[in-house]
């Protein structure tokens, strides 16, 4: 039987926090529903079946393409060894935090009407290729760049984790590249595909900045962008509520299905050099895939940097608004990260202190706040709530942004911080009780090395709300598991 440290204060603090977050979300939703009820008409212009169909088609195509690209890229990275490989792997891993808006802007710089490709085509052949960066093609391209790189990083970890004896057996049987894939690689990869596919589908389904920039009009809107348009352009709260409910329904369904699927192992350790090399033709193909994918990923980012430098920072630096944004962004980011850390630590320590299943479920529920309410709806609800309270929106805005960011990042922080705390409580609970350590004394020596290391990422999460979806999905299936150091 597991003996946990006796920590009623931790459970009470986590319980109070979970209650406060639930009450806040309920208040936000109530503000929207009451405002929508007060509106006499609306929702007439919103074609929900069309939006649902287009969003599903876009997300489905993104999922299939990202998995295919990710698999090819992971195989190439697993097989090939070259100088700077670690840098390339790190580059693809950075897709996790690359803002979608930056990638979309980079694509416009290259494939846009006055982009590099069009300029070169006009100069060389006098022909324009149009504007492929806009519309469904642009959205898919941007999503595949980010999600394909993410999928490749996960799949590479799976390929790197294939046991050496299995590889040696395959090598001694002189398997061809195709046989190696079907007998050795595919069994290692296929377990990750359903869960990974569900995550990518959710990311694409709820995509906001990429679709906003590259959508090219209502034809390619996602539900999230449609909610934004309904609120921002028409202030049609009824439509926003209907769209939000549709999005919540679909996302919940995908999450429920994904929760029943096999978990995604997260062994992201360094890979060892392969002793079994494929034939020359296979290696050439892998090199071609790697070069193409690297160009596709790096070019938009390089174009952003080059355009930024060539465009000149002078005009921008002379604007007071820029300096205000440059100051407020790190302040808001750091404050959000600190708040995320405090909330996640409180909830994770509370969960780690109890083995009662219903209590653990209740303490884990705030992590799903983002799933219950899409980001746009959350912001709208906060705006209405602040307005109803008679507070000037400009005055409340920084606090609301910090709180909203923290709620969005909370699932990821919980999923990362929770398992180490639970492992500490489980493995050292008896020792802690026998030594009669206080809560703080338990926290300091045994917990600080573990959480200080992993909490670094908190500073990145608040600006990467898309990861909240991923993380909440992961946490729902207990997919992140880190050993207690």
Where do contacts with another protein occur on this chain (CB under 8 A)?
90, 94, 96-99, 101-102, 105-106, 109, 212-213, 301, 304-305, 307-313, 315-316, 319, 321-322, 325-326, 329, 448-450, 452-453, 455-457, 459-460, 463
Nearer to another protein, 95 or 200 (CB): 95
Name, in order, each residue with C-beta under 8 angstroms of 465's C-beta and a sequence gap of 6 or more.
370, 375, 405, 408, 409
Q: Length of the chain, please?
A: 485
CB of 298 to another protein, least distance (A): 12
Nearer to another protein, 321 or 389 (CB): 321
Judge whether 222 and 55 are in contact, CB under 8 Å. yes
How far apart CA 110 and CA 128 sit, in angstroms, is 13
Q: How far is CA 345 from CA 17, 71, 88, 364, 404, in A?
A: 11, 36, 34, 12, 17
How far apart CA 33 and CA 384 sit, in angstroms, is 10
CB of 196 to another protein, least distance (A): 21
For residue 143, give both structure tokens: 């999503």
Nearer to another protein, 186 or 322 (CB): 322
Nearer to another protein, 192 or 450 (CB): 450
Nearer to another protein, 170 or 216 (CB): 216
CB of 351 to another protein, least distance (A): 22
How far apart CA 344 and CA 384 sit, in angstroms, is 27
Judge whether 410 and 363 are in contact, CB under 8 Å. no
- The CA-based diameter of the chain, rounded to the nearest angstrom, is 82
CB of 83 to another protein, least distance (A): 19
Name, in order, each residue with C-beta under 8 angstroms of 244's C-beta and a sequence gap of 6 or more.
32, 223, 227, 373, 374, 376, 377
CB of 1 to another protein, least distance (A): 31
Judge whether 424 and 352 are in contact, CB under 8 Å. yes
Nearer to another protein, 41 or 318 (CB): 318
The secondary structure of residue 161, as a DSSP letter, is T
Is residue 305 exposed (0-12), middle (13-18) or buried (19+ Cβ within 10 Å)?
exposed
CB of 228 to another protein, least distance (A): 11
Q: Three-state DSSP class for 41?
A: coil
CB of 7 to another protein, least distance (A): 22
Nearer to another protein, 385 or 402 (CB): 402
Nearer to another protein, 98 or 192 (CB): 98
Judge whether 297 and 105 are in contact, CB under 8 Å. no
CB of 97 to another protein, least distance (A): 5
Cα four-point dihedral sign 476, 479, 483, 485 = negative
Nearer to another protein, 304 or 413 (CB): 304
CB of 303 to another protein, least distance (A): 9
For residue 106, give both structure tokens: 């980079």
Judge whether 432 and 399 are in contact, CB under 8 Å. no
Is residue 206 exposed (0-12), middle (13-18) or buried (19+ Cβ within 10 Å)?
buried
CB of 199 to another protein, least distance (A): 20
CB of 453 to another protein, least distance (A): 4
Nearer to another protein, 203 or 301 (CB): 301
Nearer to another protein, 201 or 412 (CB): 412
Q: Three-state DSSP class for 130?
A: coil
């Amino acid at each position: 039987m597991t003996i946990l440290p006796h920590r009623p204060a931790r459970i009470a603090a986590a319980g109070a926090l979970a209650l406060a977050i639930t009450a806040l979300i309920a208040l936000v939703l109530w503000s929207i529903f009451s405002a929508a009820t007060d509106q006499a008409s609306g929702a007439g212009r919103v074609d929900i079946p069309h939006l649902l169909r287009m969003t599903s088609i876009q997300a489905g195509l993104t999922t299939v393409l990202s998995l295919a690209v990710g698999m090819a890229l992971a195989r190439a990275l697993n097989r090939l060894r070259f100088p700077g490989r670690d840098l390339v792997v790190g580059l693809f891993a950075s897709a996790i935090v690359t803002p979608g808006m930056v990638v979309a802007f980079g694509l416009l710089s290259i494939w846009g009407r006055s982009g590099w490709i069009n300029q070169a085509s006009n100069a060389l052949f006098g022909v324009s290729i149009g504007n492929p960066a806009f519309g469904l093609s642009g959205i898919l391209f941007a999503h595949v760049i980010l999600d394909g790189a993410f999928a490749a990083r996960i799949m590479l970890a799976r390929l790197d984790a294939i046991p050496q004896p299995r590889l040696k057996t395959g090598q001694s049987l002189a398997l061809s590249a195709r046989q190696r894939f079907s007998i050795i690689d595919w069994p290692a990869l296929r377990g990750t595909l359903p869960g990974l596919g569900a995550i990518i589908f959710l990311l694409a389904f709820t995509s906001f900045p990429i679709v906003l920039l590259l959508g090219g009009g209502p034809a390619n809107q996602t539900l999230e962008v449609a909610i934004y348009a309904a609120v921002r352009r028409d202030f049609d709260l009824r439509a926003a509520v209907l769209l939000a409910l549709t999005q919540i329904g679909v996302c919940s369904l995908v999450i429920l299905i994904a929760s029943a699927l096999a978990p995604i192992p997260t062994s992201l350790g360094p890979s060892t050099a392969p002793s079994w090399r494929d034939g020359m033709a296979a290696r050439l193909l892998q090199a071609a895939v790697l070069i193409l994918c690297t160009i596709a990923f790096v070019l938009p980012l390089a174009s952003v940097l080059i355009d930024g430098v060539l465009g000149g920072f002078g005009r921008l630096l002379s604007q007071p608004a820029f300096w205000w944004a440059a100051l407020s962004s790190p302040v808001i980011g750091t404050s959000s990260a600190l708040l995320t850390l405090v909330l996640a630590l409180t909830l994770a320590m509370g969960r780690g202190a109890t083995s009662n299943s219903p209590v653990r479920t209740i303490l884990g529920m705030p992590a799903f706040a983002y799933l219950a309410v899409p980001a746009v709806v959350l912001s709208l609800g906060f705006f209405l709530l602040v307005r109803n309270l008679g507070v000037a929106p400009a005055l409340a805005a920084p606090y609301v942004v910090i709180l909203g960011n923290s709620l969005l990042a909370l699932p990821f922080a919980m999923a990362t911080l929770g398992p180490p705390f639970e492992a500490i409580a489980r493995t050292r609970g008896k020792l802690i009780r026998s030594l009669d350590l206080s809560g703080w004394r338990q926290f300091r020596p045994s917990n600080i090395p573990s959480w200080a290391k992993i909490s670094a990422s908190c500073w990145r999460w608040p600006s990467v709300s898309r990861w909240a979806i991923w993380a909440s999905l992961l946490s729902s299936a207990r997919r992140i598991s880190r050993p207690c150091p």
